[in-house]
Chains A and B, each alone.
Chain A
Amino acid sequence: MSARRPRIAILVFPGSNDDRDAAWALSALGGEPLLVWHADAELPRVDAVVLPGGFSYGDYLRAGAIARFAPAMEAVVAFAGDGGPVLGICNGFQILCEARLLPGVLRPNASLSFVCRDVSLVVERTDTPFTARCEPGQALTIPVKHGDGCYHAPPGLPDEQVVLRYSPGENPNGSERDIAAVVNADGNVLGLMPHPEHAVDPLLGSGDGALILASLVDAARERSYEHA
């Protein structure tokens, strides 16, 4: 018997770019992706939500600042409040911060320049729905590509909420404390600047992003059994 394919919503805003990439990657890793239009006020029945990368609303005003008002975001807030796993990648991370589902804010890179390259990351926590397949302290190679990825943490952000850090000397954007991924206090909403969906097919470079996305598929599958 094959394992159930859990349904995972991928929000599509005007200007989302990595929505199809995320759908392809999640599908390859055993999920059933559903593209959900930003104007829809309700989510279909899903077991996880992904906010993909891109330039929603052209990053006008401020990255993620307009997308947070999309009708679908109200449904995402409710889904997260119910304990559902929500993953925001790059622009998705920016939107989650703007929506106050995650602490802190993403500022323009310290270089003031867009940067696209592979970076080395260190896994700080493996007890999240997004990193369960990783080993503590494991090094992952996953690309970044962003202009506004400099994470500014609120004062007193506990270390427990830092899930991934850039390896020493690898910080591409000036993020405080080398933070690359942050989880909320409840542990079910994660934002990260690197793009795991671009590191699933080893022929394209690294396959390390599959560990993150497959962890999410696992968590979604578990939730689908609980809610069956």
Chain B
Amino acid sequence: MAEQPLHRALGLTDGELDRIRGLLGRDPNDFELGVFSLLWSEHCGYKHSAPLLRRFPTEGPAVLQGPGENAGVVDLGDGWACAFKVESHNHPSAVEPFQGAATGVGGILRDVVAMGARPIALLDGLRFGEPGFAFDRAVGGIGHYGNCVGVPTVGGEAVFDPAYRENPLVNAMCVGLLPSERVTRARATGPGNLVVLYGATTGRDGIGGASVLASQELSDEDEDKRPTVQIGDPFTGKKLIEASLELVEGGFVESLQDLGAAGLASSLAEMAGRGGAGLDVQLDRVPLREPELEPVEIMLSESQERMVAIVAPERLAAVEEVCARWELCCAVIGVVTESGFLRAFHDDEEVGAIPVSYLTEETPRYRLETAPRVLAPPSEQTPMRAERAELLALLASPNVRSRRPVFERYDHLVGSRTVRRPGLDAAVLRLRPSLRGLAVSLDGPGRAAALDPRAAGARAVFEAARNVACAGGRPLALTDCLNFGSPEKPEVSWELAETIEGMARACEVLGIPVVSGNVSLYNETDGRAIPPTPVVGCVGLVADVRAVPGAWQQGDAVLLAGGEDASLDGSEYQSRFLGGPAGRPASPDYVAEAALIHFLWRSAARLSAAHDVSDGGAAVALAELALHSGIGAEIDLGADALDWFGEGAGRAVVACPPERAETLEGVPLRRIGVVGGEKLLGASLAELRAAHEGGTP
């Protein structure tokens, strides 16, 4: 087989090489070509997705920092702000689930720390073919990192679908707290300021992760790519978090930047680009963990647990002192210049010089060719009698069954803020010493996504916001991770565009912005793309954590709040009993969805319980509330499977004392029963629990 040219091996097209030549007015050397290949990858450069992402609303009165930084930041009032972001680590997790998931957690933690925030919560969106070894290893990796660094993992979701068997998704979200006047931005400013690299040493791990691994399809030959997966060291990660926060709190640094995908190359280019400056870097000053790394390897290494700080010369001693105390490497590797160039030197010899704007602004932008797909018509909804056995089977199905065995492997309590623990809709973290709280959720669509991508996009946003509202939180802002197949395929591009349109419309009707996010494309194996998978994280403000809805109480009225247009198309019921997702799921009623979310957080103080209706429909939501509360209910849902198991209508189950039920208003409300007894929908609590928890009654 003929040796392919270097640029192609690095993932650049012939046209992109011509563009580089045109910009530079000369041939790039191999070092420069390596830097371009990373910065112009989809993972770093969003060359296919950037035009579509502009569709999202990104502004609002509470937004202190929108997209384009390491994480978004919103104001919480009382002098506090919250930084948050979700990011994918899909391809590394496909190749090596434990380290892939662990380093995904490590990376998103550093993104939030780079904003000057202390991480207070982690959430994980996991999608695998089935529960089993790979899923178990990913859970293990998340726990390995999150538990050890002392940040609670308080939520997320696990979805199983054969479509993800070869291409699992690991999306990690981190939420951090910071004083609102201390938002740290990753900008290289002030010529003469020093570029300080601190944290772990640099090795040969993860080279080319962003371009080779994250921006291409997977195939059978991925064994060779295992060395492109990074290895996490949470102990060093913990020290890095504490040292970074000391640096910020002490006012010792001008800005911070995480080293993630594409290592120094992308971190330095992005910092210089945002600051409108140039940077000179001396690669021989980078502390190495193995000798004789080539300059380009040092520049591109994705060794974990490293950060870059821009430091005024007079504060260098203070920075070195903090790093020494935390036993972290710390080296001045460069200086901010006015040149507008990213210049790299090794032993005083220039190894590359590229105008920063070519790396960050002149990234190719591809117009996506889209091929619309005609949506299938809704299936004939013939009346079917709902059976108790079906409820038990759904409760036991991998997508519905209790997540307790997963959450119990995560420390969800460290920080002493967790008012509402994982398991029901959103978690709530107390903003001590106040009684206010932060509700956080992470949600993606279920199997219905492929049937109607636009509806799936809207539903992901609504569900994330509804979960926050069920916990009494007023949704403030969103972060999103768009997991798709190859954008070079018109049908996938169409799915991406449609999904973004649905998400954007949902954001607009809710009046909340997207402040951060990440795109993971090329989730394909041997030519088969995953279904469109937008995963949305939401943060919301809880006015008083004492009023967070929890368990329903004896004698409470049980009501179904929200829309009536549920469908079995795309439901868990359909997948389980009717042979897989088909037809067309219920179209979201945007205005009604927004009204329900508004109703839920506004009414939370009057509700004993509130729970989102999602996978498995109203019957499953009721069963989950009964199990959570330890008490059953007399419920009349009718006899039809559609009423028990239909999904997609934008609904929630709420419960409150009967006299208070009269005061609830703002959405359609239907009384469906009264709390009491040991049974629900014909099944005993013991039977429900056995099904849900996988034991025997």
Chain A interface residues (CB < 8 Å from chain B) = 14-18, 20-21, 24-25, 37, 39, 53-55, 57-60, 113-117, 143, 145, 147, 195, 197-198, 200-201, 203-205
Contacts and interface: CB of A to CB of B under 8 A. Distances in A.
A21 B414 contact: yes
B386 to A, nearest CB: 34
Contact of A117 (B238, B408, B545): B408
A13 B537 CA distance: 33
A204 B235 contact: no
B416 A24 contact: yes
Given A16-B150, A18-B150, A55-B238, 16 more contacts: A14-B235, A14-B238, A14-B239, A21-B415, A37-B325, A55-B234, A58-B236, A58-B238, A113-B409, A114-B409, A116-B407, A117-B408, A198-B413, A201-B416, A204-B413, A204-B418
Contacts of A14: 235, 238-239, 326-327
Interface residues on B, range: 20 to 34
Given A14-B326, A17-B150, A113-B409, A57 B416 contact: no
Interface string B378-420: 0000000000000000000000000000011111111111110
B143 interface: yes
Contacts of A20: 415
B478 to A, nearest CB: 27
B365 interface: no
Contacts of A59: 148
B147 interface: yes
Interface string B223-259: 0000000000111101100000000000000000000
Contact of A58 (B233, B414, B417, B430): B233
A115 B409 contact: yes
B238 A15 contact: yes
18 contacts: A14-B238, A14-B327, A15-B238, A17-B150, A17-B238, A24-B432, A25-B416, A55-B147, A55-B150, A58-B236, A59-B148, A60-B235, A114-B143, A115-B408, A116-B411, A116-B412, A203-B546, A204-B419
Contacts of B413: 116, 143, 145, 195, 198, 204
Contacts, number: 85
For the complex of A and B, list the 7 residue pairs with the smallest distance between their C-beta atoms, beginning with the closest. Answer: A58-B235, A17-B150, A21-B416, A55-B148, A145-B411, A198-B413, A114-B409
Contacts of A24: 416, 432
Main secondary structure of the interface of A (DSSP, over half): mixed
Counting chain A CB atoms within 10 Å of each CB, which of B234, B235, B430 scores highest? B235
B122 to A, nearest CB: 13
A18 B414 contact: yes
Nearest to B545: A203
A207 to B, nearest CB: 12
Contacts of B412: 116
Counting chain B CB atoms within 10 Å of each CB, which of A39, A114, A195, A197 scores highest? A114
B286 to A, nearest CB: 23
Nearest to A113: B409
B416 A204 contact: yes
A171 to B, nearest CB: 15
Contacts of B233: 58
Contacts of B417: 204
A197 B546 contact: no
Counting chain A CB atoms within 10 Å of each CB, which of B148, B149, B407, B419 scores highest? B148
A54 B430 contact: no
Counting chain A CB atoms within 10 Å of each CB, which of B150, B239, B325, B545 scores highest? B150
Counting chain B CB atoms within 10 Å of each CB, which of A39, A57, A58, A147 scores highest? A58
B578 to A, nearest CB: 36
Contacts of A204: 413, 416-419, 430
A21 B415 CA distance: 6
A166 to B, nearest CB: 16
Contacts of A57: 235
A54 B414 CA distance: 9
